[in-house]
Amino acid sequence: MNSALKWKLIAGFLLVFIAGGATGVFVTMSIGHHFLLAAHSGMAAQTMKNRLRWQLRLTDEQMTKIGPIIDKAGAQLEEIRGDTGKHVRDVLTEAHREIAAYLTPEQQQRLKQMEERRQHWMQQHHGGPRRRGPNENPPTPEIAPNPEASPQ
């Protein structure tokens, strides 16, 4: 076996190995993304029902009886998740408002762009930053110019 053929075989094996690894990462991310979003898209009650049915080996009659309890718990969990998300957004908005006082106008603009990107990402991945009423506008952080900030 000559040296050129040996290197071609090594390169071929490496290429196949890398392609397999990339495929594995893609499949894992696709499946993992599905499972992560299932718990956050109103499916908490169904997930709990499936898990309880399987782990406790519940009968159909038992599932009928406990179904409303699980539905109620799932709705409460969704409400808690929504309230927690709103609280997190409020804390970040307040932190950005306070941070802006120490930034130059250029940095303030970058901070505003960061917030816009975060809101866009939330809309793309979660259907919006939070559930709003029909007449409610999305929150925007108020970034006041800092007269003491010096350009860097």
- Tell me the pLDDT tens digit for each residue of 14-55: 999 999 988 888 888 777 655 555 555 567 888 889 999 999
On the 0-12 / 13-18 / 19+ scale of CB atoms within 10 A, 65 is exposed
State residue 5's pLDDT score: 87
Q: Both 28 and 73 in a single domain?
A: no
Residue 111: inside a domain: yes
Give the structural domain span for 17.
Answer: 1-32
Residue 1 lies in a domain: yes
pTM: 0.48
Angstrom CA distances, 78 to 17, 53, 86, 128, stand at 42, 21, 12, 15
Task: Give the pLDDT score at 107.
Answer: 92
